[in-house]
């Protein structure tokens, strides 16, 4: 086991020291950073809110998912319509660690029950159209009067104010809207300047995942935790307005700065990169591999590994390698070499070169893995990147482990998977409102829960 922990670490003792602090086998015996924090998650049809509360739940917050009596439509967002019971594949993951209750907020009784929950809560997350909660009398404007310590996070594609919010705010907050408004989608797709790519393929492409939602949720979770820190110091809650598209623009590298300085839109680069190159994916004998050697010394090293001194002479400096017209040429020349070798052979060549005392620079490579290969990689098994759970409702599930699991004192963790619609009504309403049994059944019959 020790050999697997140490791996290729420069200092084996350092690797063992870090493992002794953050061993994933000891996570469940440690305290939780957000223990005692109560979160009411009203997200509807929106994985930004769901991801935000997932992060908080991993860190120990008691997250209460409040769905309408028929359930959240997000449960049905699943590839090819695949459902496991009442949940799709995405919701099985983002329902983790959360208690699930149902409540009809459009009924007066439902709103009164919600107000009572808010009095005992720390955080509210909602993804409705701007002003919807306020129109029901349960927005931040009203709720802060009954709980001044409340942290209220509203997530919507267009934000809660401004001309676009006024014009488009009646639309649901969809991931693709976030991506389209977030600029990054405009430069994602086949490279504009590669003459070998047909013109009809040169169009914007969305990310392969729900990147707008997930980025928005990550920013929301960060804002909520900062608000909790501020409240710890001052005793005061606050309102958080999250527009996921703005979250995407915040991580858009140099796109906006380039337009500001040049007045031109950045062209789509595909696997090229007009800031660092070569820094790209290329074909190998058994798939695709990442290849990087963008500084002058590292480019010289890559050319030496490929036995192509002519390429170093032809593109000697970063200026030549960052010229857009040159990058397809460089890419194809690198692929002539990499396509003759497997990813493992390429890795061994580069490792062998890195040990040479006369090496000119550093080259980095890495295989593009499929889901099957990810699960077979020993590295992820040792670090427990995924958790297998046997759930009484959903059977055997594979859930991504908490990315916070390597915090040495208060690691994040996955405790359970998704819960069925309304599965925790009895427990939560009994715990916080003293409602259970016959009274709860009457509320169900009236459509309140």
CB-facing half-sphere around the CA of 378: CA atoms within 13 A? 6
Give residue 195's pLDDT band: very low, low, confident or very high (50, 70, 90). Answer: confident
pLDDT at 1: 65
Q: Which residue spans of the chain are classified as CATH 3.30.1540.10?
A: 279-368
From CA 67, how far away is CA 34, in angstroms rounded?
23
From CA 254, how far away is CA 322, in angstroms rounded?
15
Query: Buried b vs exposed e over 269-286: b needs ≥16 C-beta within 10 Å?
Result: bbbbbbeebbbbbbbbee
pLDDT at 332: 93
Checking if the pLDDT of 61 tops 90, the result is yes
Give residue 7's pLDDT band: very low, low, confident or very high (50, 70, 90). Answer: low
**Per-residue pLDDT reduced to its tens digit, 272-315:** 999 999 999 999 999 999 999 999 999 999 999 999 999 999 99
Beta bridge partner(s), residue 19: none
C-alpha dist (Å) from residue 353 to 97, 307, 357: 47, 12, 9
Query: Residue 266, Cβ neighbours under 10 Å: how many?
Result: 20
Q: Looking at residues 140-157, what average pLDDT do you find? A: 98
pLDDT at 147: 98
pLDDT at 4: 72
Checking if the pLDDT of 12 tops 90, the result is no
pLDDT at 169: 78
Q: Sheet holding 151-155: strands in order across?
A: 98-102, 62-67, 38-41, 123-126, 151-155, 238-242
CATH superfamily membership of 31-251+419-445: Crotonobetainyl-coa:carnitine coa-transferase; domain 1 (3.40.50.10540)
> Which stretch of 5-9, 378-382, 418-422 has the lowest confidence by average pLDDT?
5-9
Query: Residue 385, Cβ neighbours under 10 Å: how many?
Result: 16
Checking if the pLDDT of 339 tops 70, the result is yes
pLDDT at 280: 94
pTM across the whole model: 0.94
Mean pLDDT, the chain, whole residue set: 95
CATH superfamily membership of 279-368: formyl-coa transferase, domain 3 (3.30.1540.10)
Percent of the chain exceeding pLDDT 90 equals 91
Tokens of 164: 């676009």
Q: Which residue spans of the chain are classified as CATH 3.40.50.10540?
A: 31-251+419-445
Pairing of strands 98-102, 87-88: unpaired
Contact 247/215 with Cβ under 8 angstroms? yes
pLDDT at 11: 84
């Amino acid at each position: 086991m020790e050999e697997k922990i140490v791996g290729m670490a420069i200092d084996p003792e350092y690797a063992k020291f870090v493992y002794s602090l953050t061993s994933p086998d000891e996570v469940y015996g440690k305290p939780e950073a957000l223990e005692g924090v109560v979160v009411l998650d009203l997200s509807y049809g929106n994985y930004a809110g769901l991801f935000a509360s997932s992060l908080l739940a991993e860190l120990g917050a008691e997250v209460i998912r409040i769905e309408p009596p028929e359930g959240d439509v997000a449960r049905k967002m699943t590839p090819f319509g695949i459902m496991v019971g009442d949940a799709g594949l995405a919701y099985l993951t983002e329902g983790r660690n959360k208690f699930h209750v149902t409540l009809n907020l459009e009924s007066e009784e439902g709103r009164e029950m919600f107000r009572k929950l808010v009095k005992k809560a720390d955080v509210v997350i909602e993804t409705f159209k701007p002003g919807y909660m306020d129109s029901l009398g349960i927005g931040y404007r009203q709720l802060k009067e009954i709980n001044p310590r409340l942290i209220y996070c509203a997530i919507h594609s267009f934000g809660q104010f401004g001309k676009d919010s006024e014009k488009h705010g009646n639309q649901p907050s969809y991931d693709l809207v976030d991506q389209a408004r977030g600029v990054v989608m405009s430069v994602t797709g086949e490279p504009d300047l590669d003459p070998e790519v047909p013109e009809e393929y040169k169009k914007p492409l969305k990310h392969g995942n729900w990147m707008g939602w997930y980025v928005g949720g990550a920013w929301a979770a960060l804002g909520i935790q900062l608000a909790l820190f501020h409240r710890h110091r001052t005793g005061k809650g606050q309102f958080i307005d999250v527009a996921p598209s703005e979250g995407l623009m915040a991580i858009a590298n140099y796109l906006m700065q380039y337009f500001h300085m040049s007045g031109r839109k950045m062209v789509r680069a595909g696997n090229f990169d007009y800031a660092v190159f070569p820094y790209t994916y290329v074909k190998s004998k058994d798939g695709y591999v990442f290849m990087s050697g963008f500084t002058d010394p590292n480019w010289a090293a890559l050319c030496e590994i490929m036995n192509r001194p002519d390429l170093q002479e032809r593109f000697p400096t970063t200026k030549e390698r960052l010229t857009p017209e040159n990058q397809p040429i460089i890419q194809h020349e690198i692929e002539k070499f990499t396509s003759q070798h497997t990813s493992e052979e390429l890795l061994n060549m580069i490792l062998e070169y890195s040990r040479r005392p006369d090496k000119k620079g550093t080259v980095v490579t890495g295989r593009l893995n499929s889901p099957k290969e990810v699960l077979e990689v020993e590295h992820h098994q040792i670090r427990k990147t995924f958790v297998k759970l046997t759930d009484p409702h959903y059977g055997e599930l594979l859930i991504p482990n908490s990315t916070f699991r390597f915090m040495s004192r208060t690691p994040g963790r996955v405790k359970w998977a998704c819960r069925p619609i309304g599965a925790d009504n009895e427990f939560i309403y009994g715990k916080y409102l003293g409602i259970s049994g016959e009274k709860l059944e009457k509320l169900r019959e009236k459509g309140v829960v």
